[in-house]
Copies of this chain bind each other. A is one copy, B any other.
Amino acid sequence: MPTLSVFMDVPLAHKLEGSLLKTYKQDDCPHKMFLAYRVCMTNEGHPWVSLVVQKTRLQISQDPSLDYEYLPTMGLKSFIQASLELLFGKHSQAIVENRVAGVHTVGDSGAFQLGVQFLRAWHKDARIVYIISSQKELHGLVFQDMGFTVCEYSIWDPKKLCVDPDILLNVVESKQIFPFFDIPCQGLYTGDLEEDTRILQYFVSQGFEFFCSQSLSKNFGIYDEGVGILVVVAVNNQQLLGVLSQLKGLAEALWLNPPNTGARIITSILCNPALLAEWKQSLKEVVENIMLTKEKVKEKLRLLGTPGSWGHITEQSGTHGYLGLNSQQVEYLVRKKHIYIPKNSQINFSCINANNINYITEGINEAVLLSEGSEICLPKEKKP
């Protein structure tokens, strides 16, 4: 009988530094709140689910003609096709030219894992990854674990108080970077499915090759099923087939068969015009609701007389947006008000609702007033 553990040398893993959610969970304050959830929240504070999903789920479970057999390693074909058409448009030149394809993955994390494994094996010269700063904790670690050097890159201009996508384009073009896009919630940005993937259309039109992680979890509200696709765009079909064959080998080792339930629900919706229309309508309603919340936040800050211009709040699209606070102000909100927001002040506006909007805007007001005051106390920097 063995006496020593073979796991003797295995230490407790280091906890992630700066995991905001973890700190939030450990906070005992009864009025704590977390404004950085990845997913869209309802006014009641629950993850949003499109109503058409519930209906379709029930319908599927009552269909005796369906089987529950293993999906092929590359996934549910009809799901991939419908999702690619959603991403690029039905008449996309790249689809017509057979140079775009997708591998059905276990969520967007699975898509990144698969894509990064491929890049490590077949793109060996590339060792540096430039990543949008807000994504580092989520996906940057996957690159880091595989030996890439991850550099953070911000597209938020804190002086102009706006997002500058040109920064991204210039980098990709000048540094010959291989783009790996993340489309986490198409339709929940502007409420318009086509508008939300305009950047992809641009790169396709310019003949770029790229990977893209497409998540269908958040824009349908199927969080527990990992509905993702690793999208591959190549210059031609021959190159595409080579990449796909290698990806298949990697996916076989990773999970062999991707999960079916979420993909089946989504395919049923995307391929049925009536259900599709219902889903699109539900996206629009969510986005309108978020815009309304942003308007309210801006108006509350105006009424409180909070110093500064807050127009940038309503100028940004999507669930997530920058508040435009500095690190001192963010720290005040987290430490003193128990309002958990990331250092770059990019919050999920759908976390704000009628129950917490007053507390949040008053907190922002206090934070700004206090830091304004402390700035006055500091000696001004000399200009050169």
Contact with B along A247-261 (1 / 0, CB 8 A): 011001111111111
Tell me the minimal C-beta distance from A358 to chain B in angstroms: 27
Tell me the minimal C-beta distance from A343 to chain B in angstroms: 21
Tell me the minimal C-beta distance from A159 to chain B in angstroms: 33
- Is A71 part of the contact surface with B, judged by Cβ < 8 Å? yes
Evaluate whether A260 and B2 lie within 8 angstroms (CB atoms) in the complex, with A10-B122, A248-B13, A253-B142 already known: no
Q: Which of A127-135, A162-170, A232-240, A321-329 contacts B (4 or more CB under 8 A)?
A: A232-240
Contact with B along A140-158 (1 / 0, CB 8 A): 0110010000000000000
Q: Are B224 and A8 in contact (CB-based, < 8 A)?
A: no
Contacts of A259 in B (CB 8 A): 106, 224-226, 259, 261-262
Binding site for B on A (CB under 8 A): 1-13, 39, 46-47, 49, 57-58, 60-62, 67-71, 106-107, 109-110, 113, 122-123, 141-142, 145, 178, 206-209, 221-226, 234-236, 239-243, 245-246, 248-249, 252-262
Tell me the minimal C-beta distance from A22 to chain B in angstroms: 12
Contacts of A113 in B (CB 8 A): 253-255
Q: 12 A-B pairs, CB-CB below 8 angstroms?
A: A7-B122, A8-B239, A10-B239, A12-B241, A13-B245, A13-B249, A46-B67, A47-B67, A58-B61, A109-B252, A141-B252, A226-B257
Which single member of B58, B222, B239 contacts A5 (CB below 8 Å)? B239
> How many angstroms between the C-alpha atoms of A12 and B242 in the bound complex?
4
Which single member of B12, B46, B242 contacts A11 (CB below 8 Å)? B242
> How many angstroms between the C-alpha atoms of A243 and B235 in the bound complex?
44
Tell me the minimal C-beta distance from A170 to chain B in angstroms: 16
Tell me the minimal C-beta distance from A90 to chain B in angstroms: 24
A9 to B, closest residue via Cβ: B122
> How many angstroms between the C-alpha atoms of A135 and B259 in the bound complex?
23
> How many angstroms between the C-alpha atoms of A260 and B142 in the bound complex?
23
Known: A141-B252, A226-B257. 16 other contacts (CB 8 A): A6-B178, A8-B239, A12-B245, A57-B61, A58-B61, A61-B61, A106-B258, A106-B259, A107-B256, A109-B254, A109-B255, A110-B256, A145-B253, A224-B261, A225-B260, A255-B255
A217 to B, closest residue via Cβ: B70
Which single member of B49, B70, B226, B240 contacts A224 (CB below 8 Å)? B70
> How many angstroms between the C-alpha atoms of A349 and B178 in the bound complex?
50
Tell me the minimal C-beta distance from A206 to chain B in angstroms: 5
Tell me the minimal C-beta distance from A158 to chain B in angstroms: 30
**Most chain-B CB neighbours within 10 Å: which of A3, A221, A245?**
A245
> How many angstroms between the C-alpha atoms of A70 and B107 in the bound complex?
11
> How many angstroms between the C-alpha atoms of A49 and B106 in the bound complex?
23
> How many angstroms between the C-alpha atoms of A5 and B206 in the bound complex?
13
Evaluate whether A223 and B68 lie within 8 angstroms (CB atoms) in the complex, with A61-B61, A257-B109, A259-B106 already known: yes
Q: Are B6 and A123 in contact (CB-based, < 8 A)?
A: yes
Tell me the minimal C-beta distance from A255 to chain B in angstroms: 4
Contacts of A123 in B (CB 8 A): 6
A119 to B, closest residue via Cβ: B6
